[in-house]
A and B are shown apart, each in its own frame.
Chain A
Amino acid sequence: MSLAWFARRLILTAYTIIVVSMLVFAITQILPADAAQSLLGENATPESLAALRSKLGLGDPTWLQYARWARHVFIGDFGISMRTSQPVGPEMLAALSRSLLLAVSSILVTLVVAVPLGVLAALRQGKLADTGVSLVAYFGVSLPEFVTATLLALLLADTLHWLPATGYVSPLEDFGSGILHLALPVLTVSVILIAHVMRMMRSEMLDVLKSDYIRAARLKGLPERTVLFRHALRNALLPVVTIIALDVGYLLGGVIVIEEIFAIPGIGRALMIAITTRDLPSIQAGALIMAATYALTNTLADLAYAVLDKRIRYD
């Protein structure tokens, strides 16, 4: 991995975040909401409205407003929430940490389940286990999150009473209860991710098993276990890194629905509330933080891929 490639990758990430910030700002500019009106409430006099508008710079050209907003965002100041009158930044970051807990746990569960199943399907290609795994994967990717979430809640919370249906308890305060409350959301996210990763794992493994170096390893007389785990699995796992990074984008979109359904105070729910109450600073902060998280994850995945796979040389 050359330094130039690394620098280029960072510049692209920065460019991505800038474009996203412009887009988010542009979309929220068109929103039919008057910041001054929402700050002062229904009974504001026209004079005080005009005064606040000029103080907030609402009459300035859009690019000037964007520049002012971007400068504040750059130093981490996302403004004051119109709904709660609290600074938006810390609120959104706290929400993001809860969402990340959900996301990271789901990815861990996914890896533990999907990688062995994908390998199994590849080894038993065309047999019953393979067909079963592929069928389940098909259903997994064909169900929208809200359907999976609702059906799982119906089964595990409403019918069997194994898990609490909604709510969030911080695992730092009460570990047991926290885990129980996280179980349903994590399960929902994992079902979809597992389907995705399992399919990828299977096809990568099939590719690798057909390769010359695996044939060479077998001809050398290595035990099958060594061939599979030391040679095949290692190489097949690489592309899975990329798939998981791409899935983070899905995850961040998916958490909007899942947090809404399970009442988890994460960034998705915060954004949903911001959208329904037309709280502009919160919408801007939430959307920008989400997209930036995604862009950064992708950059990290590219770096990891370059470090892990010595064959890859970017120029």
Chain B
Amino acid sequence: MIELFIRLLRRPQGFIGVVLLLLVAAACLFGSALAPYAPEKIDFLGRFRAPGWQNWLGADQFGRDILSRLMVGARSTVPMALIATFIGSAAGAIIGVGSAYLGGRSDEAIMRTNDAMMAIPGLLLALLLVSTLGNGASNAVIAIAVAFAPGMARVTRSVALNVRNQDYVKAAIARGESASWIIFREMLPNVMAPIVIESTIRVSFAVMLFATLSFLGVGAQPPASEWGLMVADARQYMHQAPWGLIAPSGAIALTAIAFNLVGDGLRDALNPKDER
């Protein structure tokens, strides 16, 4: 595990990814403590103030400090994406391993239905679900998780099929262990590595999807300074204050890039032969 981490850090992409990720984590943990202003502090004299020594990243239409809003907003963006990915991955992994364990016709039926669900574009499925469940951050998280599960199920199943044929699984079946024991104790631990890698890359999609839902007005609700919401707000004023647009966009991009870099780096570190 430590060796893997060192190998990840040795590659420039992996190193940059980890550094960016630490930065994002710091913003989530200490953002509200370190922010120079309160995120809701209105300053009518400082409306649309350009970036400078007073407001490092400028101020928005109410004179609120954009840097402070970003730092506080990290907490309403990134953890949501992480939770959504975690729920979606866990559900997908269980479906995938279960399907591989059952095999035969049940496997075929589960995977065909799973493929059918994948025919619905993720954003569309998430939008439909949120419109049913009601607008809001937690419903958006559930919707993203549901949208992610089929993809994870497919990835997991392809790995789990190999595990299914290993001697230790056959032995467990011969011993007469229960299905849940075999799925959770024998098979799942042995498909963890690819699931973790796939999930890491997926977090970046979750960040983007969550921000998109908020941007469309069905995810996080004002006055939260969620990043997608900040972009939606700033669009009306992009003429007077383009920095209001650029700062949250950059934050979303950096976070997505960080998870992408770490995910790709982990994949490379696990398969050192594949030098691409």
- Interface set of A (CB-CB < 8 Å, partner B): 12, 15-20, 23-24, 27-28, 30-32, 138-139, 141-147, 150-151, 153-154, 158-159, 203, 206, 249-250, 252-254, 256-257, 260, 271-272, 275, 278, 283, 287, 290-291, 294-295, 298
| Total cross-chain contacts (CB, 8 A) | 133
- Evaluate contact between A142 and B212: CB separation under 8 angstroms: no
- Contact between B132 and A287, CB atoms less than 8 A apart: no
Complex Cα distance A278/B128, Å?
11
Could you tell me the distance between the alpha carbons of A253 and B119 in the complex, rounded to whole angstroms? 11
Q: What DSSP secondary structure best describes chain B's contact surface?
A: helix
Given the contacts A151-B245, A154-B238, A252 and B216 also touching, CB distance less than 8 Å: no
Residues of A contacting B118 in the complex (Cβ-Cβ under 8 angstroms): 249
Interface of A is mostly: helix
Q: Which of B87-95, B109-117, B161-169, B180-188 contacts the other chain?
A: B109-117
Do residues A257 and B123 form an inter-chain contact, with CB atoms below 8 A?
yes
Answer yes or no: B197 CB below 8 A from chain A CBs: no
Are A252 and B124 neighbours in the complex by a CB distance under 8 Å? yes
**A254 to B216 Cα, complex, angstroms:** 12
Q: A138-B261, A154-B238 are in contact. List 16 more A-B contacts (CB 8 A).
A: A20-B117, A23-B120, A31-B131, A138-B257, A142-B256, A144-B256, A145-B212, A146-B211, A146-B231, A150-B249, A151-B246, A158-B239, A158-B242, A256-B216, A257-B212, A271-B127
Q: Are A294 and B119 in contact (CB under 8 A)?
A: yes
Mind listing 9 A-B residue pairs with CB under 8 Å?
A19-B116, A138-B261, A145-B212, A146-B212, A146-B231, A147-B249, A150-B235, A252-B121, A283-B128
Count residues of B near A (Cβ-Cβ below 8 Å). 40
A142 touches B253 (CB 8 A): yes
Are A30 and B120 in contact (CB-based, < 8 A)? no
Query: A144 touches which one: B132, B211, B235, B239 (CB < 8 A)?
Result: B211
Q: Is the CB of B124 within 8 A of A143?
A: no
Question: Which residues of B have CB within 8 Å of A272?
Answer: 127, 216
Which residue of A15, A142, A151, A260 has the most chain B CB atoms within 10 A of its CB atom?
A: A142
Q: CA separation between A55 and B246, bound complex, in Å?
A: 53
Nearest 9 pairs of A and B residues by beta carbon: A253-B121, A19-B116, A144-B208, A253-B123, A142-B256, A16-B116, A142-B257, A147-B249, A295-B119
Cross-chain contact A287 with B128 (CB below 8 angstroms): yes
